Amino acid sequence: MWTGRWVADRAGIALTGSERLPELVGLALRSGNPKRAHLLVSTVLGKHVPQRPSVVHGAGLELGRRVRDLLGAEAAGRAVVLGYAETATGLGHSVADGLDAPYLHSTRRPVPGLDPVGGFEEEHSHATSHLLLPADPGLLAGDGPLVLVDDEFSTGRTVLNTIRDLHARHPRGHYVVVALVDLRSAADRRRLDEAAAELGVRLDLVATASGGVELPEDVVARAERLIAEAAPAAAPPVGEPPSAGPAPLDRVELDWPAGLPDGGRHGFTAHDRARLDAALPRLAGQLAEALPAGARRVLVLGFEELMYAPLRLADALAERLGGDRVRFSTTTRSPVLAVDDPGYAIRTRLAFPAHDDPRDGGSSERYAYNVAPGSDPARRFDAVVLVVDDVADTPALHEGEHALLGQLRRVTDRVVLAVLPSHRPVPVVPAPLAAPSSPPAALSPPGSSKLPGSSELPAPLYGPAFSSYPAEEVAWLLKDLSGVALEAPTEEREEAVQNGGAHYAESLPVEYQPSPEYQELFHQALRGSASRIALAVGTVAETLLRERGPGLVLASLARAGTPVGILVRRWLAFAHGLSVPHYAVSIVRGRGIDPVALRYLAAHHRARDVVFVDGWTGKGAITRELADALAGTGFDPDLAVLADPGRCVRTYGTRDDFLIPSACLNSTVSGLVSRTVLRAGLIGPDDFHGAKHYADLAGNDVSALFLDTVAARFGEVRAAAVEGADRLAADPHREPDRAGWAAVERISAEYGIDNVNLVKPGVGETTRVLLRRVPWRILARRGAGADLDHVRLLAAQRGVEVEEVDGLPYTCVGLIHPRYSRGATGGDGRAVADGGTVTETTGRES
């Protein structure tokens, strides 16, 4: 039976034209919409009527191929597809798949910080305003054909509103309108033709079927009467629960590719399409494992505008399960009368509160149609897989008698919840690097000792009063100890530590003052590696944006991580027009990260937005220290570094062991700030850890030179950085395996060193051994080139042997001689003696 018969017989509505129309659409009555009494209910759209996902996706693919044939290969290659929210978001995306074109759909969900590049009204809809929010405004700025996709083309007013708005902003010569059904009247057709002539554009239309809708003059009154009469007998909003009570609810954690958009709300590219296609078999497998054994009828239920990702998941799941077992549909904002009759398109209705904090109010209703079985047990689904984005995964989804999950658990035998990460767009704003003129708004201004309303928390320090970095580059969560004498020569410092059982962080080494020859090596190294460092910075920054979103907060590990944090912040400003907060915090071996700094970050930001940043990894001591210190705090311990030769982290620019010139020097490349200090009597329980500002070394300061030289290379490596982030996201070996630790243990055994903490792997850590410690010998990979020039010079100045070896996984490794370990520290940062032999670690060094 045609699912429009009930309305046609009672309201006098008739379809004319193509014989295919009845198989493509049924009829229902809208409730609460005085502008249009009837609703054309598509059988192939996957919105109101559960349908095989291959049919839903295939309908769009076929339309996309027809558009490609119409345009020809050259024009099709320049086309962009625009779909309409909410009903046609999945259809438009499927058309873009068939055309192989980038895709954007309109949205009714505003995004803070993202300005619309256009908007229009859908005059007959219950929710009229559409926004266009592409992350890249240039997506709609080209001169290629614009393909507009809607489920039905009834009057043409929405399309005309869209074309007028966009043509005024970005004129083009060709528009193509695509719909499942074209039901325009003759007057509507003339109106659109006249508008095309007025604008001087070509306008084509592609539809699966065409015809018309005949409406009696009193159709609205008839519909109101029918709704009033049918409402008491309409299908109940919730079915009877199974005898054992509500169905089980399982949550499946899908391995959604990092940074992959969940749909076209902010744009979807051919590259995104390829990533999704590659991931679908794995994702379908995860869903299949969550389903009950023997499930014969499974519904994958999407969420309003989130149609395409659930559709593709449903299609992949159907292919995996085999047979005819999977159907697809989504929830909707559209209020429609439900009548449990085979001749009516909407048999059952679940009504539930909105759960995504929508613009039209959190109390407004949403609907899921034809999900409950109604009077026909054969229509019951054995399992429902609900797919939402994380914006919609709120208490309103879970809690309360009428919440969607609760209602679904009463009409099926198993509910599976899959939550996708909502794509947080990063606006593309090509602009020259321009540092903000004031500290980030989230940071407290310098000058006060306490934060207003937070008397227990100290205020950050800012340059130029503390450090040579401008105030907008970094806020130091440190206590200024510049007036305290804390330095001692290396041997004296270590012996004092040993004799008193003191901690390494209670004093400071004397700052190394480079010779002219060594300074020249620094400048050579900087010139030679600036592009390589810029690429690593860009790869890390792009990765963080994809995985953490534009609301991220940088927290660099003082002091070596601070120049890196500044460079990442500069990249975000350069490449994306973002200004993100950046703090420098202290971490101390054996005592963890500064707890007062963590309290400050938690008081001003969401813990999950904070990203900890450092320069490089050695054997992984600092990554373990950070993970231990952050356990149970809500902060993410995933450290981001430029170079990860130790294979200790999952967010990195490279795993090559190369020279980062900021490792060549101490404070004079780190804003004239010392290592951090934690000492009783100086640092109280409500103080940040301390540090000194060596203002007297300003004449040798190259901190700004280092930053500016690297940042000047951002433009030339921008494309490569995006590709680097792509490779990192797809790298199956991305997870840390700590291979560097195994190498350190082997070296320790080979050289008779009874404590691996005396082995400092990597260029950065070897440099620190030569600058701060009492080195024994340096192991260099045979054939290592200019990256080790500064190491060889320092070793010669200190009379240390450089031994070239084969099979070294690092470029070089620094070894500390046990003879000078009298003042060294153990795992807790204090002296360790064993049978007269003292061993050590280096504290903050990793």
Q: CA-CA distance, 560 to 631, in Å (whole number)?
A: 23
b/e sequence 234-259, b meaning 16+ C-beta within 10 Å: bbebbbeeeeeeebeeeebebebbbb
Note the pLDDT of residue 66: 98
Angle CA 596–600–602, to nearest 5: 115
In this structure, are residues 769 and 846 in contact, taking their beta carbons and an 8 Å threshold?
no
In this structure, are residues 539 and 728 in contact, taking their beta carbons and an 8 Å threshold?
yes
Q: CA-CA distance, 629 to 617, in Å (whole number)?
A: 17
- In this structure, the number of other CB atoms found within 10 A of the CB of residue 517 comes to 10
In angstroms, the Cα distances linking 157 to 123, 150, 441 are 7, 12, 44
Alpha helices, H only, 350-452: 395-398, 404-408
For residue 776, give both structure tokens: 């024994």
Note the pLDDT of residue 503: 56
In three-state form (DSSP H/G/I as H, E/B as E, the rest C), the secondary structure along 703-728 is HHHHHHHHHCCHHHHHHHHHHHHHHH
Note the pLDDT of residue 91: 98
Angle CA 373–376–381, to nearest 5: 40
First to last CA, the chain: 73
Note the pLDDT of residue 614: 92
**Burial of residue 710 (number of CB atoms within 10 Å: 0-12, 13-18, 19+):** buried
Q: CA-CA distance, 434 to 572, in Å (whole number)?
A: 11
- State whether the Cα torsion 422-428-429-435 is positive or negative: positive
- In this structure, the number of other CB atoms found within 10 A of the CB of residue 823 comes to 24
Note the pLDDT of residue 661: 72
Note the pLDDT of residue 450: 35
b/e sequence 387-412, b meaning 16+ C-beta within 10 Å: bbbebbbbebbeeeeebbbbbbbbbb
Q: Which residues contact 757 (CB under 8 A, 6 or more apart)?
A: 621, 826, 827, 839, 840, 841, 842
Note the pLDDT of residue 358: 60
> Residues 429-469: pLDDT tens digits?
433 333 333 343 333 333 333 333 334 689 999 989 999 99
Note the pLDDT of residue 737: 80
Stretches in the chain below the pLDDT threshold 70: 32-35, 112-114, 118-129, 231-244, 357-363, 425-456, 488-505, 507, 512, 818-846
Note the pLDDT of residue 233: 55
For residue 775, give both structure tokens: 């080195």
